[in-house]
């Protein structure tokens, strides 16, 4: 699952911060960054930035390009965009044809992928809960969480 594959499917916002977070966490390749920019953000680049974009070949190149773009846009912090990544992955999980049990298990697997965000604890199947939840209630908590992101 890659953000660029589900942007249109789930109508998620994408900007240079989302791309930057994706690259530094290895969720996007440099080629995917170029593809997303071509399809969604090209109009936000100057001629020079467009030329620079096509010299992006490595992860380091992509990070440097995105840092320069963020700096020129006076954006210092992109950590808030991590929630867009959460939503992208969670939406992709719940949109599969898997059973509810399999979806709950996948969410638990991605919890570690995102470095165990505290906000997810209440719907991770193996974490102690304040109340006893059945699988359907746990799944409903996931849906509710996604809706509120």
Task: Convert the pLDDT of each residue in 108-120 to its tens digit.
Answer: 999 988 989 999 9
pLDDT of residue 8: 60
Model confidence, pTM: 0.81
The SS3 call for residue 19 is helix
pLDDT of residue 121: 87
pLDDT of residue 14: 86
Query: b vs e for 33-53, b when ≥16 Cβ sit within 10 Å of the residue's Cβ?
Result: bbebbeebbeeebeeeeeebb
Tell me the residue length of the chain: 149
Q: What is the mean pLDDT of the chain?
A: 87
DSSP-derived secondary structure letter, 124: -
Residuewise pLDDT in 10s, the chain (149 residues): 455 566 666 677 889 999 999 899 988 899 999 998 998 899 999 999 999 999 999 999 999 999 999 998 899 889 888 998 899 889 999 999 999 999 999 999 999 889 899 999 888 877 656 665 678 888 998 999 999 98
pLDDT of residue 6: 65
């Amino acid at each position: 699952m890659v953000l660029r594959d589900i942007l249109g499917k789930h109508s998620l916002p994408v900007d240079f911060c989302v791309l930057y977070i994706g690259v530094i966490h290895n969720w996007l390749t440099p080629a995917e960054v170029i593809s997303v920019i071509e399809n969604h953000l090209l109009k936000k680049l100057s001629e020079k930035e467009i030329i620079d974009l096509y010299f992006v070949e490595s992860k380091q190149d992509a990070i440097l390009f995105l840092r320069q773009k963020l700096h020129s846009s006076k954006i210092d912090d992109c950590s808030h965009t991590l929630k867009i990544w959460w939503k992208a992955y969670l939406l992709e999980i719940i949109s599969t044809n898997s059973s509810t049990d399999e979806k709950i298990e996948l969410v638990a697997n991605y919890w570690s992928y995102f470095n165990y965000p505290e906000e997810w604890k209440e719907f991770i199947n193996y974490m102690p809960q304040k109340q006893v939840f059945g699988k359907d209630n746990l799944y409903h908590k996931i849906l509710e969480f996604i809706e509120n992101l």
